[in-house]
Amino acid sequence: MAGHNKWSKVKRLKAVTDARKGKVFSRLSRDITLAAKAGGGDPNGNARLRTLLLKARDANMPADNVDRAIKKGTGELPGVVFEEITYEGYGPGGVAFVVKVTTDNKTRAAQEVRSAFARHGGNLASTGAVAFQFLHAGQFLVAKETATEDKLMEIALEAGADDVIASEQGFEIRCAINLFDKVAHALEHAGIKTENAEIAYIPTTTVPVNDVATAQTLTKLHDVLEEMDDVQHVFSNEELDEATSAAVQ
C-alpha cells in the first residue's frame, strides 16, 4: 500500500474538517481564477473550469466565492496577480517531492517551502533534479461503483486517454496534459463522476519506507506543506507497507 498515494490523498481531502475548509476554499479559488484566466469564464467552453466548479460544489464552496474567483480570472474584478511555480525536493529517506505553488510573492513562497523541507530532514533541489522520477500527466480517479472497466475504457480511450488502470480502490485514467480537457468533457458527458481530476505528477519509481519514524516525519512534512496558503498540490513517491502505514495513522 502506498503512503500518500493518489487514493489516500483523496480520502484525506474528503475528511477535511470545518476548521480547514477556509484553506480548501482558498486553494479552489486560486485554481478557478487561473483556469478562468487561461480559458475564459464560461464553463461550457472551458473544461478545466467545469471540473473545478464540480470540485467547488462537492466542497460546498459558497457561490459568491466561486463567482468572485471567476471574475478575477477574467479581469472583471481587480485582484492580485498569481504565479504558478513548481518546487522540487527530497524528504527524509530520499523520498522525492514535487510541490506546486500559486503565489503573489515568489520570495515568501520559496522561503516557506525551503524552511519546511529543512525542518523535516529534507532539502530543496534544483529544477529537473526530481521531476524525471514522475510522469506529468492528466489523472482522473473513478470509484468502482461508478462505472465498469469496459465502459471507462471505451469512453476514455475514445477521448484520447493513454490508459485505464484498475485497482482495489477504483480506476485511474491517465492522459496527456493537452488532452485533459477533452477527457474531462467526455467523462462528464457520459455522466461519470470522478473522485479527483487534476494535472498530476505520478511517480514512475517509488521509494520504500519501512521505518516508522521516517514515515511519521514524511507525514508531518506533507501536512506542513499542504497547510501553507501558497501550496496547491504536493506529490511524492514514498511507498509504505501496511504495517508502517497503520503505525502512522
pLDDT of residue 47: 81
Residue 1 is assigned to a structural domain of this protein? no
Side chain identity, residue 212: V
Based on the fold, state whether residues 24 and 143 are members of the same structural domain.
no
Cα distance between residue 82 and residue 62, in whole Å: 22
Based on the fold, state whether residues 111 and 123 are members of the same structural domain.
yes
Low-confidence residues of the chain: pLDDT under 70: 1-21, 249
Residue 249 is assigned to a structural domain of this protein? no
Q: Which residue segment(s) compose the domain that 14 sits in?
A: 6-74
Based on the fold, state whether residues 92 and 179 are members of the same structural domain.
no
Residue 199 is assigned to a structural domain of this protein? yes
pLDDT of residue 1: 34
Based on the fold, state whether residues 20 and 35 are members of the same structural domain.
yes
Q: How many CB atoms lie within 10 A of CB 90?
A: 19
Q: Evaluate whether 61 touches 174 at the Cβ level (below 8 Å).
A: no
Based on the fold, state whether residues 49 and 60 are members of the same structural domain.
yes
Q: Last residue of some domain: 34, 55, 74?
A: 74
Based on the fold, state whether residues 124 and 90 are members of the same structural domain.
yes
The domain that contains 38 carries what CATH number?
1.10.10.200
pLDDT of residue 247: 78
Residue 248 is assigned to a structural domain of this protein? no
Based on the fold, state whether residues 11 and 44 are members of the same structural domain.
yes
Based on the fold, state whether residues 97 and 216 are members of the same structural domain.
yes
- The helix (H) or strand (E) run that includes residue 31 is helix 21-39
Residue 216 is assigned to a structural domain of this protein? yes
Residue 214 is assigned to a structural domain of this protein? yes
Based on the fold, state whether residues 53 and 14 are members of the same structural domain.
yes
**6-27 residue pLDDT tens:** 666 555 555 544 446 677 888 8
pLDDT of residue 118: 97
Angle at the Cα of 165 from the Cα atoms of 189 and 247, rounded to 5 degrees: 115
Report the number of distinct structural domains present in the chain.
3
Residue 51 is assigned to a structural domain of this protein? yes
Maximal CA-CA distance, the chain: 52
**139-186 residue pLDDT tens:** 999 999 999 999 999 999 999 999 999 988 899 999 999 999 899 889
Cα distance between residue 192 and residue 206, in whole Å: 30
Based on the fold, state whether residues 117 and 210 are members of the same structural domain.
yes
Based on the fold, state whether residues 56 and 70 are members of the same structural domain.
yes
Based on the fold, state whether residues 111 and 213 are members of the same structural domain.
yes
The domain that contains 192 carries what CATH number?
3.30.70.980
